[in-house]
Amino acid sequence: MGAAEAILLTVVTAAVPLLLAAIGELVVERSGVLNLGVEGMMIMGAAGGFAAATLSGSPYIGIFGGLAAGIVMAALFAFVTLFLVANQVASGLALSLLGLGLSGIIGEPFVGTPGTKLPALAVPVLSDIPLVGKVLFAQDILVYAAAAITFGVWWFLYRTRGGLIVRAVGDNHGSAHALGYPVIRVRLLAILFGGACAGLAGAYLSLAYTPLWIENMTAGRGWIALALVVFASWLPARVVVGALLFGAVSILQFHAQAMGLGIPSQFLSSLPYLVTILVLVLISSNRSVLRVNTPASLGRPFVPDR
């Protein structure tokens, strides 16, 4: 494997968990709900996925474990914000803190335990293409799933009646309710989908990216995924570009250290988060872009008429 191919491979693997978490959160926000608990759902997915894979001996069972953990955390958030009408920002922050604590408890027995890595599924002939063959066609199932989910979200939001309803609920939940659309049900399903994607993102970290359990192994990726949604202006295609960009920045520190550039490791480790702040500042300065694509009802609670 050449140096360029190795770099592309590491960029893709670093981008996948960001893409999964961000595309799920994009659907949640398109429905008008702001869930800041992505980090908590991701870390629970990592812990649940690793625990399920280790206990069963199958990484594929681990995928379902991570998926289930993310959905359970999302269901808790949905219950608190949709049915108890709690503040979405405070509830999301609490969910992240809860996930970090619970994952430490769940993962403690598995510290130092060798992981069960997801195997690569090479596509015959295509995986032999120079430079991009192994990058695109010799990946594990979650990489292919991330690509399929992203395309599916785009198709659903912009090519189906269900996607139109989701966007209508996010843009004006009062008008959507007046037209007879079930606002609470739409938002509930969107939140559960976002939790499933965040759980898969966490499972990817503990089953493929670094197949072992380390406390707080998400390392802020959930917050970067939240920033990615804003960076992408709530458009699925831009989420892919943003995930690859942030993935490249994330692995830059390792290649810079290997090349002996003499840049402090602490600065390199903070680079993804510095880039996140810079991107958010630049996007916030262009209010016309935000005004066009931001769901108008984002973060606003909905209480149906009694």
Average pLDDT over residues 122-130: 84
The answer to whether 34 and 302 have CB atoms below 8 angstroms apart is no
Backbone angles phi, psi at 121, to 5 degrees: -115, 95
Give the number of residues written for the chain. 306
Give SS3 for 122. Answer: strand
Q: How is the chain split into domains, by residue range?
A: 3-117+134-293
User: What is the assigned CATH class of domain 3-117+134-293?
Assistant: mainly alpha
> For position 245, what pLDDT does the model report?
87
Cα–Cα dist 116/53, whole Å = 7
Task: Choose among 43, 64, 45, 67: nearest CA to 196.
Answer: 67
> Which of 89-103, 127-141, 163-177 is predicted with the least confidence, judged by mean pLDDT?
127-141
Q: Note the pLDDT tens digit of each residue in 154-195.
A: 999 999 999 999 999 999 999 999 999 999 999 999 999 999
List 138's β-bridge partners, or say none: 122
